Structure formats: C-alpha cells, structure tokens
Amino acid sequence: MTDWDALSPQEVERLARNIAPGEWAVERQRPISTLLGSCVAVCLFDPATRLGGMNHFMLPTMRRDDHHADDDMLLSGDYAMEALLNGLLNQGAARHRIQAKAFGGGTIISGMASAGIGNRNADFAREWLARERIELLAADLLGPWSRKLLFIPATGTAWCKRLPTTMATAQEIAREEANYAESLQRKPPPGNIELF
C-alpha cells in the first residue's frame, strides 16, 4: 500500500489516472487528476472504506433533443454527479459517510459568452451536494484561473493548483473540451460490435 502523504504532488501526478470532460472515475488506490477551466470537478469519498472518485462536467444540465440526448447527458453535471455517487455506492461506500470537495468554475477568458458557465457549474455543484445532504468539506471555485487537480481517493486528499490563465492554457482547455465533445459525435465504424 502506497503512503500517498509521503509523496510530492509531482510524484502523485505522475501516477494519476487523468479524466477528461464528461468522464468520471472511482478508485481505491490510484490517484485521479484533471485540468479545469469553466468546468467543475467534484471529488466524493468514503473515509471508512478508503474509496473515492472524481467527475468532470462541462454544464449543469444539457439540452435533451432526439439527436444528441445521450451525448449531451455525458457532459452534464446532473449525470456526472449521479454516475459518480452510484459508482461509489456500487463498490461499497455508505451514503451517510460520503464527503465532498469541489473545484473549478473559473472564468478563464473574460468577455466571452461562456463567462457565466463557471458560475452556473459551481452553483449546481453546491446545490446538488446540499440537496443530497453530502457535506462539502473544501472547495476552490470561481475566479480567473484554470486549475490542475489531483485527488487521492484512499485518503480524500486533494491538491488544487491555480494556473495563471494564458492564451495557451485557455486554448489547451478549450481544445480538450472540444475534442471530447467531438468524440461523442463520431459514429463507430461499420461492423464493430457495440456493447452496452
């Protein structure tokens, strides 16, 4: 068993599983990381079972239309929160012990139409946790920063590094979000079997 507290954040990051927008992960040992702009990541963990997870969502809720309903759902906070909570419960976490930490919701490019998205994501995360009666132990939300987040599920430890927003950082985050959204639109090649 790794003594995560003895490792530097750089060593933890090297060992971490990275999640992209629209993804979530539950782990017992392996750390989880992500890069946030206006998106929000919520870390949920059960200290008794030493089980935790993280999600990364782009918008609180997404439109529901016939063409993209499944794709939109994967990027939304309401789906991401339910999926993460159910993932923890399915692996033995107890609902009454689950605690939370939340990060992101930055305004990384001021003046853009998307400037209010970070506020909406942060508000959604707080409201969802309050509605579900999950204690929010720590948060680093809003502000003009992008963030690098590292989470150790076994201990509930989270490191959040605020990154100065440069055009390069903003472009990297926007590219990551766009790539993920685009990947959801691609149809699988003919002849492949899709498992569900």
* C-alpha span between 149 and 161 (Å, rounded): 6
- Nearest of 182, 150, 183 to residue 36 by alpha carbon: 150
The phi and psi torsions of 47 (rounded to 5 degrees) equal -65, -25
Helical residues (DSSP H) of the chain, grouped into ranges:
9-15, 69-75, 77-90, 117-131, 167-185
- pLDDT bin (cut points 50, 70, 90) of residue 186 is low
Please give the residue that has the higher pLDDT: either 168 or 151: 151
Report the pLDDT value the prediction gives residue 177, as an integer from 0 to 100.
64
- In 3D, which of 44, 75, 61, 162 has the Cα closest to residue 120? 61
Model-wide pTM > 0.85: no
Q: How far apart are CA 30 and CA 25, in angstroms?
A: 10
pLDDT at 1: 63
pLDDT at 196: 40
pLDDT tens digit sequence for 32-82:
999 998 899 999 999 999 999 999 998 776 555 545 545 555 678 889 999
Does residue 195 fall inside a structural domain?
A: no
One-letter amino acid at 106 equals G
Q: Give residue-wise pLDDT tens across range 128-159.
A: 999 999 999 999 999 988 899 999 999 999 99
Specify the residue for token string 């993804």: 23
Residue 66 structural domain? 4-184
The pLDDT mean for the chain works out to: 82
Q: Is the pLDDT of residue 195 over 50?
A: no
Check if the beta carbon of residue 15 is closer than 8 Å to that of residue 154. Answer: no
Q: What percent of the chain has a predicted confidence (pLDDT) above 90? A: 52
Q: For the purposes of burial, counting CB atoms within 10 Å of the CB of 189, is it exposed (0-12), middle (13-18) or buried (19 or more)?
A: exposed
Q: Does 123 fall in a domain?
A: yes
191 pLDDT more than 60? no
Q: Which CATH number do you get for residue 33?
A: 3.30.1330.200
Q: What was the pLDDT predicted at 120?
A: 92
Count of domains for the chain: 1
- Is 48 inside a domain boundary? yes
Does 58 fall in a domain? yes
